């Protein structure tokens, strides 16, 4: 017996359909018709633009070298603003410090926004200890396991003097010659690590004389290395590789003089790692929002370091059906290596935008990251595919 399937498929600009499934060849024809309407072929005349990977690589290495934990991002945003200026993209700075650039299109309305974030995970001083070391808490969500042994930069408020000090995050029992097997049996967590400051300090008063205070930022040094095989090993590839990819994509459009049918915005946020992200800065005319961020390369995941990875769902739920499959269709049409994936412990700028009420479709793509929020690694080909 035939069954009625009335309803609305899609929202906003999506088509309205009332249809009834039938059997056999007629049903196949109905499905093909639906596929054509919901999964359209790429626009005639589109072409895949070459990405200036020398530029992307240079921008990436400059960005990861600039400490920018959430809450202390002014320097890196000034550098990104300089790149936008060199590309000829007008931009504004929001009250909260995000950057919003624009590449004008020929028609008004139904704009597109690409969103990336320039803030990273980091730490903050919780206590000046009596032994001359620092207790810290994490900024953003990351495990102390991956910070043990990390080189850090400590920023005091006295920017007129020597406000940068170097140091190392160490477990409380850091000497095998002193503690033996206890080095391996001590716990993992922020309560069992401390920062050894590279100054002659033996007590709390010594730290105070240096101008170090509770609430000072502690940035984890990137220590970036690019291998001859194209791998990029560095802290904070999340999401500075995304920023570099986005700038590379906008540069390609500008360099080749490609006219855009609608206006494209580039939103660079500064608080994604603490959950705020694109909670502001999305223009009311934006119909589609694309977040570029890390993709999870790990056992049980489909993402790859050498491809662009299209998220079907993260911890906040599925991404927009139509936009996601449109991106997949474009990858197929232009031979862009890609994979689909689902992320369990993940959220991005897209979630912040939608939770703040942005009336837009949203999707997430990314470059594959091995050991995310730890000793991260990606590949230049994955960044190229993302751009």
The residues annotated as belonging to the active site are: 272
* Three-state helix/strand/coil letters over the chain: CCCCECCCCCCCCCCCCCECCCCHHHHHHHHHHHHHHHCCCCCCCCCCCCCCHHHHHHHHHHHHCCCCECCCCHHHHHHHHHHHHHCCCCEEECCCCCEEEEECCCEEEEEEEEEEECCECEEEEEEECCCCCEEEEEECCCCHHHCCCCEEEEECCCCCCCCEEEEEEEECCCCHHHHCCHHHHCCCCHHHEEEEECCCCCCHHHHHHCCCCCCCEEEECCCCEECCCCEEECCCHHHHHHHHHHHHHHHHHHHCCCCCCEEEEEEEECCHHHCCCCCCCCCCCEEEEEEEEEEEECCCCCCCCCCEEEEEEECCEECCHHHHHHHHHHHHHCCCCEEEEECCCCCCHHHHHHHCCCCCEEEEEEEEEECCCCCCEEEHHHHHHHC
Cα 150–152–156 angle (5° rounding)?
160
Distance in angstroms (rounded) separating the CA atoms of residues 147 and 127: 18
User: CA separation (Å) from 67 to 24, 63, 105, 117, 210?
Assistant: 61, 8, 34, 14, 20
Tokens of 353: 């935008």
Burial tier of 279 (Cβ tally within 10 Å: 0-12, 13-18, 19+): buried
């Amino acid at each position: 017996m035939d069954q009625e399937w009335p309803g609305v498929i899609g929202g906003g600009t999506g088509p309205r359909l009332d249809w009834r499934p039938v059997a056999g060849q007629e049903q196949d024809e109905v499905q093909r018709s639906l596929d054509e309407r919901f999964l359209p072929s790429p626009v005639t005349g589109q072409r895949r633009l070459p990405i200036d990977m020398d530029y992307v690589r240079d921008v990436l290495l400059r960005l990861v070298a600039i400490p920018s934990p959430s809450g202390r991002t002014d320097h890196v945003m000034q550098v990104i603003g300089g790149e936008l200026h060199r590309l000829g993209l007008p931009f504004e700075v929001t009250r909260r410090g995000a950057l919003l650039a624009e590449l004008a299109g020929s028609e008004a309305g139904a704009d597109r926004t690409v969103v990336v974030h320039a803030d990273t995970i980091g730490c903050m001083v919780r206590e000046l200890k009596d032994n001359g070391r620092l207790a810290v808490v994490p900024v953003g969500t990351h495990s102390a396991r991956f910070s043990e042994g990390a080189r850090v930069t400590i920023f005091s408020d006295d920017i007129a003097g020597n406000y940068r000090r170097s140091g190392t995050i160490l477990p409380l029992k850091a000497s095998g010659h002193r503690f033996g097997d206890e080095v391996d049996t001590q716990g993992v967590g922020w309560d069992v690590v401390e920062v050894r400051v590279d100054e002659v300090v033996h007590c709390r008063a010594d730290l105070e004389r240096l101008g170090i205070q509770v609430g000072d930022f502690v940035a984890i040094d990137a220590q970036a290395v690019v291998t001859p095989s194209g791998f990029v090993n560095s802290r904070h590839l999340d999401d500075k590789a995304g920023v570099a990819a986005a700038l590379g994509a906008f540069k390609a459009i500008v360099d080749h003089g490609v006219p855009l049918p609608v206006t494209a915005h580039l939103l660079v946020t500064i608080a994604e790692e603490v959950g705020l992200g694109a909670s502001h800065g999305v223009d009311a005319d934006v119909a589609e929002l694309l977040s570029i961020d890390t993709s999870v390369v790990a056992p049980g995941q489909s993402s790859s370091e050498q491809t662009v990875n299209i998220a079907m769902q993260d911890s906040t739920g599925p991404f927009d059906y139509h936009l996601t499959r449109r991106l997949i269709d474009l990858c197929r049409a232009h031979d862009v290596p890609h994979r689909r994936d689902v992320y369990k412990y993940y959220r991005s700028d897209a979630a912040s935008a939608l939770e703040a009420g942005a009336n837009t479709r949203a999707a997430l793509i990314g470059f594959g990251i091995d050991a995310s929020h730890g000793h991260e690694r990606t590949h230049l080909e994955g960044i190229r595919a993302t751009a």
